[in-house]
Amino acid sequence: MTESDRRQQEIVDEFSFLDDWMLRFQQVIEHGEAMDPLPDGAKTDDRLVRGCQSRVWLDTDLEGGAFRARADSESQIVRGLASLLVRVYDGLDLEDARAVEVWFPREIGLAEHLSPNRANGLDAMRRALEAAARTA
């Protein structure tokens, strides 16, 4: 099992105990609240994720061979979704980050319960992280 798969399985395990979707959305929001916010100086137009209804900033870097990812959003749910993606990617070896296959949203049922706009935003954030890892 890869490190990213292990991280995704942890997310699936956390959500598997929550049967009600209101509780799952609350869990997503709590993940977002626990994520450190980006400093205002990092919330620049070049870091905006295109394709999201809410403004989402994604800041990535390469630090000592590790892919670093941070994100922020004005929307609580979108910030929570971003935090879950950051949790999968942040700190991975660059080659591992380039090989990530994101599967946890399907496993926890996000595809069926997100509005189409939020689902598109989640996919846009995933694609932005993939692109950032490829070009790092």
Q: What is the CATH number of the domain that holds 111?
A: 3.90.1010.10
Determine the pLDDT at residue 80: 97
Which position among 52, 58, 81, 122 bears the catalytic label? 52
Domain region containing 44: 3-135
Give the integer Cα–Cα distance in Å for 132 and 11.
Answer: 22
Q: What is the DSSP letter of 48?
A: B
pLDDT at 112: 84
Q: Is 52 a catalytic residue?
A: yes
Q: From first to last of its 136 residues, what are the pLDDT tens digits of the chain?
A: 999 999 999 999 999 999 899 999 999 999 999 999 999 999 999 999 998 889 999 999 999 999 999 999 999 999 999 999 999 999 999 999 999 999 999 999 987 899 999 999 999 999 999 999 999 9
Q: How many domains does the chain have?
A: 1
